Chain A
Amino acid sequence: MKLLVSDIPDDPAELPRWLDRHLVGLDLGALVAELTAVHGPSDEPSLTDVLGDRREAVLAGGLSALPAPSLRRLLRHPRLLPRLQELVLTEGGPYWRRLTEADAALQTRALRGEGRLADLFAEPAPTLPLRPAASPARQTRWVGWRYAMASLATAAAVLLAVFLFREPLARRVLGTGPPSAASTAWGWEKLAAPAPGTPAPDYLNALADAAHEWFDQVPADAPALAQRIGEMRLGCSRLILAEHAPLTNPEDREWLRRKCREWAAKFDKDLTELEGERPAPTAKVREEMDGAVRKVEAALRERAALRKAG
């Protein structure tokens, strides 16, 4: 186990910022456990007492607004930290949000959850018995309108299913552009032959755009996901065997074909996981594919930028 308290800065000036980061990080619980071990149980002051008249300054700019004795009280009464965390997360200013944005572990976790957002749009009812955050008056009506809510959500899911079938995500989400003509081809499969004289960076970026079309649909079940992966894999074949005339540098063509083989192997692996005797959960495979396609897109854009620069 990593001992978090051992990283406490030697320089007292860095202590507030160190604690700020832990307050809105994923490991606050571990830090509280460690500080409790170090300082033992004691009579706890209230958070209001500790913050005193610096409460608003802390909300705006972090714990550096506190005098050293108050900071010491927080460390020595670590059960106050989760309460302080809740306060800064619910009422804190942009300073605190920036800290969460700068936390790579939080961002990774949030990104992982983002892939599951589409599931929300399709699921008619909660998977856990939940209580809405409503006023007491509303809560008394909860049982009644819970069923109405489920019906509405089901209707929304049906609408969405029709919609998913007809329109790519860019239009679904951004609401731009005319509806597409019915077509099963997308991504690399759909790409037309490049016009003569197309610069290499434009070509590579077009391939990246086409790869991004993976996200135009969010397959809801294993058969739909398998089909989508298969289509992506077919696109790989097309790229591996294509001439790539705009890539006048042979190194670029070799690079692209080599990368395509790697991507194809990854897609094959994900498909195998989905189709295996003990199939992996659809959401997990979809997340894997989402991650893989993001890497594909990033690699293509990076190569395009390299060629543009050089």
Chain B
Amino acid sequence: MDATASAFTQDDDRPLAERLRQPRAPAERLRDAQAALMALYQRHAPGLLAFLACRVPAGNLDDVHQAVWQNVWQHAPHAFDGRHFRAWIYKIARNLLIDGVRRRKPDPADDLDGRVDPRTGPAVEMLMDHERRAALERCLEKLAETARAIVRGRMGGDSYEDLCGRLGLDANKAYKTYHAAVKQLRDCVQEAGV
């Protein structure tokens, strides 16, 4: 196996995961399982928070994150086989999110922009910030056409070289136009107060 493959196929969590899923009695085992949970938390909580942050409303992030770990702690001895802990916690997180969506009443102000991806199974929706999106769309409309084209190009990963060739601009002008447009956009969205 080459180094690249081993980087993401190894299961570094397995020793800790085995300790986590052990029976919770006697007290020494309970302590050891708690210590294993803490170590796994420190390893995976930041990534899990990032995952949840774009899928739950900001005000619920900490509670949903806590709920994932609550499930981990409660179900590890019975529902976890000790392999691929990382995949398991994200599966728990996905299930929580899906259950959360099913329980939610439709709220037009808090629209889930999710679409089921047939390649990956049930939706793990991203929470679209429609207010932010709408504010920026309005501000973009206020830009001059050339400036808007440069902004779209740069924010789509085009280099100045690409843009200059396509729009027939010199690099200096393209650079200045872009940065002036960005400043205008920043001021505009700031005024929108989103």
| A interface list, Cβ under 8 A from B | 1, 3, 5-6, 8, 10, 12, 15, 24-30, 32-39, 46, 48, 56-57, 59-61, 68, 71-72, 74-76, 79, 82-83, 85-86, 89-97, 100-101, 103, 106-107, 109-110, 112-114, 116-117, 119-121, 123, 126-134, 138, 145, 149, 152-153, 155-156, 159-160, 163, 171-175
B38: contacting residue among A5, A61, A173, CB under 8 A: A173
CB contacts under 8 Å to A, within B154-194, are 154-160, 175, 182, 185-186, 189-190, 192-194
Contacts of A59 in B (CB 8 A): 7-8
6 tightest Cβ-Cβ pairs between the two chains A and B: A93-B7, A29-B54, A37-B136, A133-B91, A72-B157, A100-B46
Please tell me if the beta carbons of B140 and A37 are within 8 angstroms of each other in the complex.
Answer: yes
Contacts of B94 in A (CB 8 A): 133
Q: List 5 A-B contacts (CB under 8 A).
A: A1-B194, A39-B155, A57-B4, A60-B4, A130-B99
Closest to A118 in B: B34
Contacts of A152 in B (CB 8 A): 24, 77
Q: Is the C-beta of B16 less than 8 angstroms from some C-beta in chain A? A: no
Closest to A24 in B: B50
Please tell me if the beta carbons of B156 and A76 are within 8 angstroms of each other in the complex.
Answer: yes
Tell me the bound Cα distance from A5 to B137 in angstroms: 13
Closest to B160 in A: A10
Q: Is the C-beta of B101 less than 8 angstroms from some C-beta in chain A? A: no
| B interface list, Cβ under 8 A from A | 4-5, 7-8, 24-25, 27-28, 30-32, 34-35, 37-38, 41-43, 45-51, 53-55, 61-67, 69-71, 73-75, 77-79, 86-88, 90-92, 94-96, 99-100, 103, 113, 117, 119-120, 124, 126-130, 132-137, 140, 151-152, 154-160, 175, 182, 185-186, 189-190, 192-194
CB distance from B39 to the nearest CB of A (A): 10
Tally the A-B contacts, defined by beta carbons under 8 Å.
244
Instruction: With A1-B192, A33-B129, A159-B24 given, name 16 new contacts (CB 8 A).
Output: A1-B193, A12-B157, A29-B126, A34-B133, A37-B136, A39-B156, A60-B7, A82-B54, A82-B55, A83-B117, A113-B66, A128-B63, A130-B70, A156-B24, A159-B27, A175-B32
